[in-house]
């Protein structure tokens, strides 16, 4: 019989480790945009501008007016598991989008990444990394905030490059990420510019007048989801066992042929959680045919200790301590609201 050669165990180098990790966090340009825009939100930005070219494949540039990164911290921002957002002692009490310290090193491993930043009154600095090879920090010119530029995503991992879809489909996925984040952050102005598509701009402007979160959320949902949604949606407000459900759900008559307009947020974090999507579907079961899909923007809020967001590398799934309570809240909250709306409609017609 053939004898297998004695295997040798070797420690992988950082570049290889980062490329492997990148495979989990970064699926496509939209995932890079998500990570970078969330970093800008975490940095306290009030204005976030995203520019893409070729669906984000050749260029993604995110500019923010947040707190910035100090020059001496730039190399650390690029190293794995380095984060300013948690101290690691309490993974069940997370208030920021980021906490894993994986996005920037992953991006630097799969593309050409440049970070330029300034923390006033210090001078601005920049650092570049391409395919996992980092340059020294250099002086730069920037007034405030941070500019992160990613060129040629996946050039260092050609296998992943092959799985990308058309520029149009990738640009659409980027637009979807910005929409979701904009819905969660009504006090931030978001601008998305597609340099390959006639420089097309999408702008969600923060209304400086409104200080009220509810008003701001309502206005933002209206501008992201459109007037037709606003006119066909009913306000949801329900509570159960420490979970609070708010948002808007469209009437069954305003449904879609695909599950593309279901926006779910847990403690302000956009998620695509299967349990939550299932609950939304179940709430409409009696009023929608099988081939129709409800349209809704729902916010579940609870004590961060009641939900684990560290389930999925891209944090798009969460795990509730009591999933039954959350499911029940969504199903009964929506059913009651839909029944009330139906009742009001029929009495209006009758009266
Ligand atoms: P995480 O967001 O999980 O902390 P990242 O790799 O995305 O990990 O970022 C690493 C660190 O770099 C962050 O913790 C933060 O301190 C800093 N950083 C990244 N992006 C920005 C930004 N736009 N503005 C200010 N600081 C940033
Ligand atoms: Mg991050």
Domain boundary pick from 204, 236, 257: 204
Q: What spacing in Å lies between the alpha carbon of 72 and ligand 1's midpoint?
A: 14
Q: Which is more confident, 40 or 89?
A: 40
**CA separation for the pair 126, 138 (Å, rounded):** 5
What confidence tens digit (pLDDT) does each residue in 211-232 have?
788 888 889 999 999 989 989 9
Residue 351 has pLDDT above 60, yes or no: no
Whole-number mean pLDDT of the chain?
92
Whether 93 is covered by a domain: the verdict is yes
User: Encoding tokens for residue 49?
Assistant: 């501008």
What confidence tens digit (pLDDT) does each residue in 257-291 have?
988 899 999 999 999 999 999 999 999 999 999 99
Are residues 156 and 83 part of one domain?
A: yes
What confidence tens digit (pLDDT) does each residue in 231-260 have?
999 999 999 999 999 999 999 999 999 888
Beta strand extents in 195-315 (DSSP E only):
200-204, 233-240, 243-250, 262-266, 269-271, 296-301, 307-308
Are residues 53 and 95 part of one domain?
A: yes
From the CA of 106, give the closest atom in ligand 1.
Answer: 6
Q: Which residue has the tokens 């799985």?
A: 163
What confidence tens digit (pLDDT) does each residue in 99-123 have?
889 999 999 999 999 999 999 999 9
Of the candidates 103, 106, 90, the residue with the CA atom closest to the CA atom of residue 309: 90
Q: Is the CB of 145 under 6 A from ligand 1?
A: no
Residue 66 has pLDDT above 90, yes or no: yes
Are residues 81 and 119 part of one domain?
A: yes
From the CA of 107, give the closest atom in ligand 1.
Answer: 6
At residue 348 the predicted structure's pLDDT band, cuts being 50, 70 and 90, is low
For position 100, which CATH number holds? 3.30.565.10
Domain boundary pick from 204, 219, 248: 204
Are residues 264 and 177 part of one domain?
A: no
Q: What spacing in Å lies between the alpha carbon of 98 and ligand 1's midpoint?
A: 7
Q: Is the CB of 77 under 6 A from ligand 1?
A: yes
**CA separation for the pair 271, 251 (Å, rounded):** 22
Distance of CA 233 to the CA centre of its chain: 23
At residue 86 the predicted structure's pLDDT band, cuts being 50, 70 and 90, is confident
Tell the burial category of 222 from Cβ atoms under 10 Å away from its Cβ (0-12, 13-18, 19+).
middle
For position 340, which CATH number holds? 3.30.230.10
Are residues 197 and 234 part of one domain?
A: no
Neighbours of ion ligand 2 (CB under 5 A): 39, 98, 103
At residue 321 the predicted structure's pLDDT band, cuts being 50, 70 and 90, is very high
Q: Which neighbouring-strand residues pair with 181?
A: none
Are residues 243 and 197 part of one domain?
A: no
Q: What spacing in Å lies between the alpha carbon of 99 and ligand 2's midpoint?
A: 7
Are residues 193 and 235 part of one domain?
A: no
**pLDDT at residue 125, rounded to an integer:** 98
What confidence tens digit (pLDDT) does each residue in 139-167 have?
999 999 999 999 999 999 998 999 999 99
Mutational test site, ligand 1, from 22, 31, 36, 39, max ligand atoms within 8 Å of CB? 39
Q: Can you give the residue range of the structural domain that contains 264?
A: 227-345
What confidence tens digit (pLDDT) does each residue in 165-214 have?
999 999 999 999 999 999 999 999 999 999 998 999 999 999 766 678 88
Are residues 135 and 27 part of one domain?
A: yes
Ligand 1 atom 2: the closest Cα is on which residue?
A: 98
Are residues 335 and 268 part of one domain?
A: yes
Ligand 1 atom 21: the closest Cα is on which residue?
A: 39
From the CA of 82, give the closest atom in ligand 1.
Answer: 10
The predicted model scores a pTM of 0.92
Q: How many domains does the chain have?
A: 2
At residue 58 the predicted structure's pLDDT band, cuts being 50, 70 and 90, is very high
């Amino acid at each position: 019989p053939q004898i297998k050669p004695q295997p040798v165990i070797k420690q992988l180098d950082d570049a290889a480790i980062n490329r492997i990790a990148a495979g989990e966090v970064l699926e496509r340009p939209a995932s890079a945009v998500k990570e970078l825009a969330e970093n800008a939100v975490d940095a306290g930005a009030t204005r976030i501008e995203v520019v893409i070219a070729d669906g984000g494949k050749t260029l993604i540039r995110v500019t923010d007016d947040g707190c910035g990164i100090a020059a001496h911290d730039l190399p650390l921002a690029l190293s794995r598991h380095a984060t300013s957002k948690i101290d690691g002692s309490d993974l069940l009490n997370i208030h920021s989008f980021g906490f894993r310290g994986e996005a920037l090193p992953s991006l630097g491993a799969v593309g050409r990444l440049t970070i330029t930043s300034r923390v006033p009154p210090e001078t601005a600095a920049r650092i570049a990394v391409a395919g996992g090879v980092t340059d020294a920090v250099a002086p730069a010119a920037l007034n405030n905030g941070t500019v992160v530029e990613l060129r040629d995503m996946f050039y260092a991992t050609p296998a992943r490059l092959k799985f990308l879809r058309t520029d149009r489909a990738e640009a659409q996925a980027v637009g979807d990420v910005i929409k979701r984040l904009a819905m969660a952050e009504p006090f931030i102005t978001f601008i998305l510019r597609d340099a390959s598509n006639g420089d097309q701009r999408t702008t969600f402007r923060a209304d400086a007048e409104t200080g009220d979160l509810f008003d701001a959320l309502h206005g933002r949902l209206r501008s992201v989801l459109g007037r037709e949604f606003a006119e066909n949606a009913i306000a949801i407000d329900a509570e159960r066992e420490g979970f609070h459900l708010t948002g808007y759900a469209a009437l069954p008559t305003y449904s879609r042929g695909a599950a593309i307009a279901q926006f779910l947020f847990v403690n302000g974090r956009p998620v695509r959680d299967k349990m939550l999507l299932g609950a939304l579907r179940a709430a409409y079961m009696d009023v929608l045919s099988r081939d129709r899909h409800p349209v809704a923007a729902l916010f579940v809020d609870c004590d961060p200790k009641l939900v684990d967001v560290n389930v999925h590398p891209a944090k798009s799934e969460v795990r509730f301590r009591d999933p039954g309570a959350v499911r029940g809240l969504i199903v009964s909250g929506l059913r009651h609201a839909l029944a009330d709306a139906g009742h009001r409609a029929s009495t209006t017609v009758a009266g």
